[in-house]
Structure 1
């Protein structure tokens, strides 16, 4: 049947070092109203990943409301990595533990023993070896960004570049590629007429299928920071989210579905999927906002992490593992890339505690040198 399937995903996260008053304000203007809108308007259906680093600070009453929406089928939960490390540069052992920690949090508060088939890597930072890890842990699909994948197929006609009737696959894991173009429109452009925007997407998908001579279904999904709604962009809940979902629910040509329905509904094809993130640009290092070879902060930040991991005893002590979890989150180098040096240094007291944990050695001295360099860069 010729039909458009759409999905809308939101990423809810705050770093472990976030200031309480900032986190509380985002809860007041964004997280709580988003759930209230879903409760008031059953047409709103979202896919959501919620990091433990935020979830452990949310009111129990809020988690119970998420669970109620989940049980009604309005909310799909997508797992993520508990404290938001950049997965491609994080040791497998720590990724496995943080993935399981986040899953345990979901099971305790939201999904009980239901299947959890999908996972969102922080920053949508993807490389093919992560698909192997996700497969080993039992995941069927993961989220990634489409820009670099589409670019590597630039020798093809436009309508053949982005998969809309099939799903790329690596190591048996479906890699669901979000539309960066459409997601960025929600984040930055005039989309405050949600009904009109939904109609544009429905028409666009119909035209796409016609170019493909495809008489079956096609899909497109958007995924963005949850904080976009009414924190970064006041009015987006009322003027975009509700009318957008209304329009699709009333359409005879489209459905708003969870990401797992897209995964289950389309053919999978083994593909070469390039390293990428939500921000990767053509001709740039894949993770340029976190690990750029010419960035004066990225280099000591990443060297510190590599040395700290290399020196870690096996098995890790609970103290050291918790320090790694709560300080090696991806925001610090990104904040420096954005010019927010005062925020980039929030991780450094934790880095100091890690350095202090180790016995005297050349490596410990180097860790201290790197901390001093990062403090001087962020002064």
Structure 2
């Protein structure tokens, strides 16, 4: 069986140095060492530019050099993305293009000629078809998405494929197997043979595409780094990068992927909620966050002079997905995390000289106070806990985060 494994590694721009270094030791270096010992092993890798910079400034240049060396050996295929992990369908197209350009510039700086992405990873696999022309302008050839984009009910899910997929936009698409990918977020896989038995019957020419956070290997999910290593070594496995799959696809199918993410559930898609963890109807916290975002965007982007560079960078960072994710309570919840991320909008506005007297600044400050008050109320009253509990009640797999069971 052909296995094309996609790994996504990222830390938010406000991540603490100690945590980034801890995850680098537990996961990123572990991935490097697994590949270095096995020349036949290959992965397709997204590393967002903000993490690349964090590793460089936190004493992890040897790690970046090791990733570059593996790319030189053909064991890693880098892809493009958004530097600060913004949810691209939810921000203006100019901002999406800016995030992609910043990501390319950063990774090209550190990986040089070995960063030559053909593929693209939209953060959280959040997709809508209006992104296609943006990606084509950058020269991307393919996009990796979750299978729900073409199988909205997740019915008759087949973990194995023999096809490549083409879109009317001229882009090609790869769709990950959600079930097989999500196994790497759990602790249920006991061996390589057990993993292969879980994904079902397969033939020599069949293709399995998985995609998941690289932090699941060593940091989040107990022992899954060891399981990953064992699966690579299984005699029935032949690993290819995503771009290499084009030469083994037995046929091509035309598709038009629907708006979705790798966290969307069938009931979300049916209700027209493609990005539930970042913009859920009735979630007042997220509504306030997006109001702050829109106000800050309009205000800061008017200031194009170079002396406002600090404000522009803070705004770029503020667009990261994390604060909305931590405000979802489905099941991810963290008051300090959602405030820390949203506060970057506040800092971006404050970085504009004489901004404090403007209507935009006053509105952002007023909304931030409201956000903090409401978030702490959700926490103390148990409202967030109830939303989280209700969400987990319908989860079929027991997941891990930071080495602990999500509950």
Please report the TM-score for the alignment, with normalisation by the length of structure 2.
Answer: 0.81
**Is contact 1:128-1:170 (8 Å) kept?**
no
Aligned to 2:229: 242
Within a 5 Å distance, the mapping from 1:291-306 to structure 2 comes to: 291-306=279-294
Q: How far off is 1:258 after superposition?
A: 0.1
Say yes or no: does 1:174 pair with 2:172.
Answer: yes
Within a 5 Å distance, the mapping from 1:274-313 to structure 2 comes to: 274-284=258-268, 285-311=273-299, 312-313=301-302
What SS class does the counterpart of residue 325 from structure 1 fall into? helix
Paired residues, number: 358
Q: How far off is 1:289 after superposition?
A: 0.7
CA distance in 1 between counterparts of 2:93 and 2:230 reads 42
Comparing 160-169 and 111-120, the one that deviates more: 160-169
Q: How far off is 1:198 after superposition?
A: 3.7
Say yes or no: does 1:126 pair with 2:115.
Answer: no
Match of 1:328 among 309, 312, 319: 319
Within a 5 Å distance, the mapping from 1:141-220 to structure 2 comes to: 141-151=142-152, 158=156, 164-198=162-196, 201=199, 204-206=201-203, 217-220=205-208
**Is contact 1:146-1:162 (8 Å) kept?**
no
What SS class does the counterpart of residue 151 from structure 1 fall into? coil
Comparing 185-194 and 321-330, the one that deviates more: 185-194
Within a 5 Å distance, the mapping from 1:255-270 to structure 2 comes to: 255-266=238-249, 267-270=251-254
Q: How far off is 1:319 after superposition?
A: 2.4
Aligned to 2:345: 351
Aligned to 1:229: 217
Aligned to 2:52: 55
Task: Give structure 2 stretches of 5+ with no counterpart.
Answer: 377-407
Given the superposition, is the C-alpha separation of residues 32 and 132 from structure 1 closer, same or farther in structure 2, using an over 3 Å criterion?
same
**Is contact 1:51-1:80 (8 Å) kept?**
yes
Aligned to 1:319: 310
Comparing 132-141 and 36-45, the one that deviates more: 36-45
Q: How far off is 1:113 after superposition?
A: 6.2
Q: How far off is 1:84 after superposition?
A: 0.6
Comparing 91-100 and 181-190, the one that deviates more: 91-100
Once the two structures are superposed, what CA deviation does each residue of 1:206-240 show, in whole Å capped at 9, x if it has no partner?
A: 3xxxxxxxxx94422101011101111232222x1
Match of 1:44 among 38, 41, 54: 41
Comparing 364-373 and 271-280, the one that deviates more: 364-373
**Is contact 1:43-1:246 (8 Å) kept?**
no
Once the two structures are superposed, what CA deviation does each residue of 1:50-79 show, in whole Å capped at 9, x if it has no partner?
A: 011111122111111111111111111112
Comparing 87-96 and 76-85, the one that deviates more: 87-96
Match of 1:365 among 352, 362, 365: 362
Once the two structures are superposed, what CA deviation does each residue of 1:168-194 show, in whole Å capped at 9, x if it has no partner?
A: 424111121111111111212522302
Match of 1:7 among 4, 22, 27: 4
CA distance in 2 between counterparts of 1:336 and 1:292 reads 10
Match of 2:375 among 367, 374, 378: 378
Aligned to 1:78: 79
CA distance in 1 between counterparts of 2:20 and 2:266 reads 34
Q: How far off is 1:104 after superposition?
A: 2.5
Task: Give structure 1 stretches of 5+ with no counterpart.
Answer: 207-215
Given the superposition, is the C-alpha separation of residues 244 and 111 from structure 1 closer, same or farther in structure 2, using an over 3 Å criterion?
farther
